[in-house]
Amino acid sequence: MARERSFEAIKDIIKSIRKEKIECEIETFIHGAMCVSLSGRCFLSSYAFSKSANRGKCVQPCRRKYLITDLEEKGNKYILGKDYIRIYERIFPGDT
């Protein structure tokens, strides 16, 4: 089960399984490395270091310190953050 599932969602799934009398085991991770990539789909380690995270060889490049700057927007320090990707502004400039 994906680690992104909330505890409440996991409990609901288990209740449904028991109600339907389905025989299966549930496994989820409750701690460990938190990858910046989508769970199980990290390609950064493979691309940068030829060590595939999807084959258990991750060198955890996501934990290193980087200096990332946007050449066009000098003050934007969050160019990779999901909450700061201003797609609307890029599609409709000046319409905010």
**Which residue type occupies 81?**
G
DSSP 75: T
- pLDDT tens-digit series, residues 10-60: 889 989 999 999 998 887 766 555 565 655 567 788 888 898 877 778 888
Reported residue count of the chain is 96
- pLDDT tens-digit series, residues 72-89: 767 666 555 555 555 556
pTM for the full predicted model: 0.35
Two structure tokens written together for 2: 């994906």
